[in-house]
Every structure is written in structure tokens, then in C-alpha cells.
Structure 1
Amino acid sequence: MSEMTRQQIGGLLARQGILVAFALFMIGFALANQRFIDPDNILGVIRSSAILGVMALGVTFVVISGNLDLSVGSMMSFSTIVVLDLHDKIGPALAIPAMFAMTLCLGAFIGFLVGYLKLNSLIVTLGMLSAIHGLTLTYSGGKNMDIADKEGTWFSIFGQGEALGIPVPILLFAALAAVLGIALAKTPFGRKVYAVGGNGTAATFSGIKRARVVFSCYVLSALCVAIAGLIQASRSLGSQNTVGQGMELEVLAAVILGGASLLGGSGTIFKTVIGVLILGFIQNGLLLVGLQFYVQYVVTWVIIILAVWLDIAAKRGKLWSPIA
């Protein structure tokens, strides 16, 4: 094989490594266990991945803008607990918008700190992870939440309902991915997000209001978290007050696995969806082949390393360092 051909293959793998990895994972697990490609199993995996996926869509905007959001897990716990608590107090019709308003306020506060005060996003969101977790425990009094009348509420439609044979969580995930994908790729706001993440200084000098863009990305991320919390709450009509704990790392893994650079300026909604599905199918495949659930943590670590490697390779056009 010539050096030019090797470089072309390396460049292709670097650019489309996520799709190649997805295909290899699917083929490998299908050969290991025929149940893996059963339509019911595939639909079940996508349904269980919808909550993580919805959160990852919003975080994609934050990462492309050159920032991080480690608060989404605890924020999802807050959203879930709030909407369950308010369901019995004021009814679902008022509980849902009230929960959305509270969650968006949290996102706006983070966006203000990072966007307008220009504080480090890692430090801010790491601090907010603990602060929102404490807020959730304070709000719930340290107790889990359950809806009293689980049989007589229409609230369950968001997590348990179906339309045309497709679970509602999948439909919400797909619809949101389509809308945000178009917004990121085809609108002026999407181009501003890429510009701010690619070179914030140049974007500012070109007339883009960087602070406003960053602020909007965090509000959008909070909106996605609220939708995820709604799905989570309505799926079981009850929840622990730590339901979202640790999900921030899974969300970030899915986004980076999908090709969004930690340095900002690159990434797509489509590949984030693929990243989410890879994580979901890997966890499902490992269980089907008989491995224990804790093996998933090791595999997730390997996936993150692989994703970072492909991200660096995409920038230099080679899978291997020219120095090596």
C-alpha cells in the first residue's frame, strides 16, 4: 500500500471515524448475539437512550461554542423532582411550564456567569453541579418523589406513550435533533456558535456578540435538560432525587464521541446522535454477551480516549503523530 493511499485512508478514518466505529460495534455485537439486532431490542435501546440524547443535543451547542457544561446531570435531577412534586400540588398543566421556567433560570444564571462575566466554564459548571444537587435535596427535603394517582394522569404520555407504534421519547428526541440540527447548520445563530467557538476574539471583532451567544447556548442546554427531566419523570411517575447524578460525564462522552472538539468550533447534531447511540448500543451489547454492568465504566473510558484520539487526528489529517 502506497504512502498516499495510507494517508487517504487515515484521513477518511479521522473524519468519519465515528460512523466506522458505529458500524463495527453493530456488526460485532450482532455476530456475538442474534438478539442484538432484534427490532424490539433496537427500539428499546433507542428509547432508553433518548433522555441522554436530548441532554447531549443542548450540550453540543455549549461545547461547539468553546465551553463545558458539567451541571446537566444535577439539573436534570432538579427538573425531574420539581415537576413530580408540582404535579400533585397544582396539576400537570401548570407543573410542566413551572418546571421549565425554573430550569431555564438555572441555565440563564450559568450563561450569565460564563458569557457576560467571562468566568471559566469548567469551574462554574462544576460548582453549579454541587449547588444544584444541594438545591434539589433542599427542595425535596432529602426525599424521593412519586405521583399519588399514577393511573389517572395524562402526564405519563411523555415517557410511556406511543404514536404510530413509536415510543414518544424517541419521537421527542428525533424531533428535537432535527430542529436543532437545522438551527446549528443552517441559521445565522448556528454560524455564530461555530465562530465563537472557533475564534472568540475574531468573532468579537467581526461584530458577533460573544457573550449573548454563549448565554443563549446555556439557556438552550437548560431547555434540553428540562425536556429530558420531563421524559424521565413521566416514564416512571416517580424518581430518586439523584436520578441524574453522573449523567454529565455520559453526556460529555457522547458529544465528544460525536466529533465535537473540546477546544470548540467543530461538531454536528447528527454525529452527536450517533455518539449517543454508540454508548447505548455498547451498554446493551455488553449485557447481551454476558458481561457485568460495571464493565461499562471501563468501556466508556476507552471510548472517551478513542474519541479524543480521533479528534486530534482529524485536525492533523493523520491517525498517527508524524513525530512517532
Structure 2
Amino acid sequence: MAQSHLKAVGEILAKHGILVAFILFMIAFALLNPRFINSDNLLGVVRSSAILGVMAIGVTFVVVSGNLDLSVGSMMSFSTIVVLDLHDKLGPLLGIPAMFAMTMALGALIGFLVGYLKLNSLIVTLGMLSAIHGLTLTYSGGKNMDIADKDGTWFGFFGQGELLGVPVPILMFALLAAGLTLVLSKTPFGRKVYAVGGNGVAAIFSGIPRARIVFYCYLISSFCVAMAGLIQASRSLGSQNTVGQGLELQVLAAVILGGASLLGGSGTIFKTVIGVLILGFIQNGLLLVGLEFYVQYIVTWVIIILAVWLDIAAKRGQLWSPIA
């Protein structure tokens, strides 16, 4: 009987190890500081995590397909600067779709290079990180961007507004997560993404258009980046031209923390969202505990490694690798 219970617990941990780790972190921080579970604090953390989360959802498609995207940080800077500039030149009704089109054009270029030309995604996106950063600086003339008439625009709704008492960034994050969860888990396209990431050669021989699937994954990622840029620009109605610098590593950390494999073929939107929230609540919890910001970097790294280790250990049924 005891063995059957242990087996059942092991199966739960194998499927939901990262979720269990998230719950344990939440309980630990709540015990250390009761303010951690205050509704305003919880809502504030989710709201501040929305931009990272929106980007991570798109990158999940790329990682599941067996590729990487290190360009999302600089691409977010580009989309933020562009939409702020076009807001004043064209107005928000034309500026927003124009920004989405320009950002997705960059995603299409990356998708073409990785998907159709079969170039290494790490090299391509690492190069695009620098190229898009240079493009952003060129577009802005090296200057930060601000909306001229901040009081006379409805543009702030996306980053500052609320619907039924829920901040709009959280609603956008939740709706995007729900919609793309259905795409990845319930559609033929989603099954092809997993097949391409699991075994690209076998997928090709099965008649799956690998190049096209990879191309679409980068398009989805760039669409999500554009949405994140819209939220960022709308939040403050102004931005530095390096606002997304370094976010690509946080996004990738959230996706991997959520259980997606860098080798491709595994990962879910739901677990990516959990990974994003773990990062957000860890930083918030450490702040409330009173740790200096430079100590938080080290503790955050340790907690991330511990969470991933426990998740992998739960899946293989033991703490240490059987090969070691």
C-alpha cells in the first residue's frame, strides 16, 4: 500500500513537478513575510510579469520546435520605440498595426533564415540581437522616445487600464496564453510543432513541412514580442531605446524553468506561464524579505537551479542521474 502511494506521488511530481515547486515557493515566502500574500501585491507581481510572460509564450513555440530565439529583447525595444514614434506621426489606430507589421517582418526574416535556409538558430538570432539593436538606435537617432500629448490619448489603456477591476496587461497575458495553448495542444499545427522539435528528419519523411512550421513559429514569437512592446509603450507612454535589453535571457529562463527542453519536442504554454510567475514571485519575495538587490541575483539563480533539478528528478524518479 505504501509503495502504491509513493508511486502515485511520484507520478504527480513527474507531471506537475514545476507546479509543486511554485506552490512551495509561495508558501515559503508567505511564511517569511505575510505581506507577500496580500492581494494587491499578488496582482502587482502578475501585472509586472505580463510583458515577460507574453514574450515567453511566443518563445515557447520556437523552443518546442527545436530552435532558439535570442533576438526577442532587442526586438521588443524596436517595437516599443516604433509604436511610440508612429503614435505621434500616424495616430494609434494606424501606428499600432504598422508596428505589428514591422515587428513581424523581422520575425519572418529570422524564420526564413532558420526555417528555409536551415541556418543555426542560435547564430542567427544572436546576430539579429545586435542587428535589431542597431536598427532601433538608427530609427530613434540614439534618443529615447516619448508621446507628445500624454493627456490627450487613449493609448495608455493597454498598459494602465482596467476591465472589471483586472489590469488590462493581465487580461492580455491571460487571453494570449489561453488562445495559444489551444493552438499548441489542440490543433494539427501544434502537433506538427512537437513533431518537428522531437525529430525533424522523421517529421520531413512523414510529410510535415518543417521549414514552414519553423517559419510560423518565429512569426508567432514576433507577434508576441509586438504585443509586449505595445504593453511596455502604453505603460509609461515613453521608453528608453534599450528597454528590452537582457530580457531574452529572462524569457529563455522562464521557458526552460517551465519544463521545455532545449532539444525541442517538449513544453507547454501552461508551464511556461508558471515559469514566468516563479521568476516574478521569487524577485518580489526576496525584495519583501529584505535582501539587497545584488544578493537577489544569486538567490534567484540558486532557486531556479533547485526548481529545475527537482522537476527533472521527479520525472526520472530519483535525485541523481543513474549514469553518474
Q: What is the TM-score of this pair, normalised by structure 1?
A: 0.95
Asked whether the 8 Å contact 1:256–1:304 carries over to 2, the reply is no
Matched with 1:82 is 82
Give the Cα–Cα distance (whole angstroms) in 2 for the partners of residues 130 and 10 of structure 1: 44
**RMSD of aligned alpha carbons:** 1.8
What SS does structure 2 have at the residue aligned with 1:152? coil
Q: Work out whether 1:97 is the aligned partner of 2:97.
A: yes
Higher mean Cα deviation, 297-306 or 20-29?
Answer: 297-306
**Residues 102-142 of structure 1: CA distance to partner in whole angstroms, max 9, x if unpaired?**
00000000000100011111111111111111111111111
The Cα offsets for residues 134-190 of structure 1, whole Å up to 9 and x where unpaired, read as 111111111000001101101000000000000000000000000000111100000
Which residue pairs with 2:180 in the alignment?
Answer: 180
Partner Cα distance (1:281, 1:307) in 2? 14
| Residue in structure 1 matched with residue 169 of structure 2 by the alignment | 169
* SS of match in other structure, 2:293: coil
- Whether the aligned pair in 2 keeps the contact of 1:14 and 1:310 (CA below 8 Å) is no
Tell me the equivalent position of 2:28: 28
Q: Decide whether the 8 Å contact of 1:256 with 1:307 is kept in 2.
A: no
Deviation of the 1:28 alpha carbon? 0.6
Pairing 1:189–2:169 present: no
Secondary structure of 2:106's match? helix
Q: Does residue 229 of structure 2 align to residue 229 of structure 1?
A: yes
- Native 8 Å contact 2:137 2:241 kept in 1: yes
2:66 & 2:310 partners in 1: Cα distance? 18
Q: Secondary structure at the match of 2:218?
A: helix
Please state how far the C-alpha of 1:292 moved relative to its aligned partner.
1.6
Aligned to 2:55: 55
Q: Is the 8 A contact 1:183 1:189 kept in 2?
A: yes
- Partner of 1:294, secondary structure, is helix
Match of 2:135 in 1: 135
Number of residue pairs matched? 324
In structure 1, the residue matched to 2:200 is 200
Letter in 2 for 1:75: M
Going from structure 1 to structure 2, the CA distance change for 1:12 and 1:319 (only over 3 Å counts) comes to farther
What per-residue deviation string (whole Å, max 9, x for no partner) do you get for residues 246-272 of structure 1? 000110011011111111101111111
Aligned twin of 1:284: 284
Per mean C-alpha deviation after superposition, the further-off stretch among 50-59 and 4-13 is 4-13
For 2:13, the equivalent position in structure 1 comes to 13
Indicate the larger mover: 154-163 or 12-21.
Answer: 12-21
| Matching residue of 2:146 | 146
CA distance in 2, matches of 1:90, 1:216: 29
- Distance in 2, matches of 1:303 and 1:266, equals 22
Pick closer, same or farther for the CA change 1:3–1:260 going to 2, 3 Å.
same
Q: CA deviation at 1:86?
A: 1.0
| 2:309 corresponding residue in structure 1 | 309
- CA distance in structure 1 between the aligned counterparts of 2:310 and 2:193, rounded to whole angstroms: 22
Amino acid at match of 1:154: W
**In percent, how many aligned pairs have the same letter?**
83
1:315 deviation in Å? 6.0
Distance 1:233 1:58, change over 3 A: same
Match status 1:275 vs 2:279? no
In the alignment, does 2:299 pair up with 1:299? yes
Q: Distance in 2 between matches of 1:282 and 1:56?
A: 17
Which blocks of at least 5 consecutive residues in structure 2 are unaligned? none
Q: What SS does the corresponding residue of 1:154 show, helix, strand or coil?
A: coil
- Mapped to 2, the partners of 1:200 and 1:255 lie a distance apart of 21
